[in-house]
Amino acid sequence: MDNILKLNIQSEIGQLEGVILHSPGAEVENMTPGNAQRALYSDILNLSIAQNEYVQLLGVLGKYTRTYQVMDLLERYLRDYRQKEVLVGRICIAEHVTDYFDDLMAMDSATLAKSLIEGVPAKINSLTAYLNDEYYALYPLYNFYFTRDASVTIGNNALICRMANRVRMRESIIMEAIFKGSGAFDCGIINAYDFNPGNEQIYMEGGDILIARDDILLIGNGVRTSTHGIDMLVNRLCKENHKGKKHIIVQQLPSQPESFIHLDMVFTMLDRDKCMVYEPLILADNQYQTVHITIDNGKVSNIKSVPNILDALKKLGMDLKPIACGGREDIWTQEREQWHSGANFFAIAPGKVLSYARNVYTLNELNNAGFEVIPAWDIINGVKDANDYNNCVITIEGSELPRGGGGARCMTMPVSRKPL
């Protein structure tokens, strides 16, 4: 980690040069059926199985790009006493546990990093604490293996997202600290918490933000990203980009079922000319609007409804062939595979993507479109190499990881890609 990496993301599919990950740990197991809903889960995970599946994701990415672990970056940040003091103080104030400040500061950097992610048990030293049903003073960060959501790389900047749910706020605080003080990255920082701090209507998450091209952002508007959050991003882009045109294409999302929480659960990029779509929402007639916002020389010049994302992109010079999540034959199969992140793909290079092995109808559609289907272990063990194929989908086992509500894109936060 001696070389500082300059953040640079101008697309969803450029060859990957760096990605931030968090291997699921004890924080995932520090959950019961009683608090799963608060943790934003619909089920509890078997940690050992989830870790065995995650090893495949980590192993494949390690073959093709530089990988960074949140725990390592956080521990590195905490070695600096002043930085440690600032971060611990901020977390204690934000989560109303200022009486734990001295205890946390007394921990060494490795123990503290672990505690900030896996949770800090409450001290039973008063009647109030004794009668309180809450086991934790600082909740475990159950969702942190989905590193996509707390921050987003846009160009050379790290956007620190203002999360929709308070239980995930510490993820954003930690990611900002990592970008500012771990010494691993060179970047600008846009912190969404700094804009109208008291306005709780402003929130966004990285799963809703896709970079189609250096001048085109796709943003989902649903339960995790508000219209006010999108307006904040548009205003920021207007201030930063005073020359030429920029385009924001907004897709409204249903609030139910919970598998529609982010845009990347219904639409992801696969190649320069291919994308994965959940057809009933992205291409079929429905009540959910697609809106095209044009920014011209630093000002919003036009806002209009358009038929769908693909139509808007085609008019901007991106003609994409849609591949159907769950295939085209059966709406039930489409729904089942979308539920298990069947539309959620992550590109390591143009036409070379990662996904779960369980969504067989989606994989058949990809195979029919020219994608070689390769099990992750074949890549890890050197039996096959993604570079030998024009198009391929590398599959990781997914019986436990999808229970958390996300796929390969959700579990990866890219920090640098080569230009297309």
pLDDT in tens, 92-142: 999 999 999 999 999 999 999 999 999 999 988 878 777 777 789 999 999
Tokens 């272990």 map to which residue?
377
Residues 6+ away with beta carbon under 8 Å from 245: 215, 294, 295, 296, 297
1, pLDDT greater than 60: no
Q: What is the pLDDT of residue 308?
A: 98
CB 109 within 8 A of CB 78: yes
Residue 44 has pLDDT above 80, yes or no: no
**For 179-220, how does the pLDDT look when each residue is reduced to its tens digit (9 = 90+)?**
999 999 999 999 998 888 888 899 999 999 999 999 999 999
Q: By three-state DSSP, how is residue 324 classified?
A: strand
| CB count in 10 Å sphere of residue 5 | 16
Q: What is the DSSP letter of 224?
A: S
Look over the chain and give the mean of its residue pLDDT values, rounded to a whole number: 93
Round to whole Å and give the CA distance between 229 and 16: 28
Q: What is the reported pLDDT for 413?
A: 98
pTM (2 d.p.) = 0.95
Other CB atoms closer than 10 Å to residue 111's CB: what's the count? 13
Q: Where are the alpha helices (DSSP H) in 213-348?
A: 227-240, 279-282, 309-315, 331-339
Output 62 or 36, whichever has higher pLDDT.
62
Return the H-helix or E-strand segment holding 349: strand 346-349
What's the confidence (pLDDT) of residue 35?
56
Query: What sign has the CA pseudo-torsion 206, 211, 212, 218?
Result: positive
Give mean pLDDT, residues 379-401: 96
CB-based burial of residue 134 (10 Å sphere; 0-12 exposed, 13-18 middle, 19+ buried)? Answer: exposed
Summarize the confidence of residues 39-60 as an average pLDDT: 83
pLDDT at 129: 75
Distance of alpha carbon 214 from alpha carbon 14, whole angstroms? 11
Q: Any idea which fold 5-214+325-417 has?
A: L-arginine/glycine Amidinotransferase; Chain A (3.75.10)
| Rg of the chain (C-alpha set) | 21
Q: Strands 185-186 and 5-6, how do they pair?
A: parallel
Residue carrying the six token digits 């930690």:
174
Residue 36 in this model has a pLDDT that exceeds 50: no
- The predicted-structure confidence for 218-276, as pLDDT tens digits, reads as follows 999 999 999 999 999 999 887 776 678 999 999 999 998 888 999 999 999 999 999 99
* High-pLDDT (> 90) share of the chain, %: 82
Residue whose token pair is 């001048």: 215
Q: In the predicted model, what is the mean pLDDT of residues 70-90?
A: 98
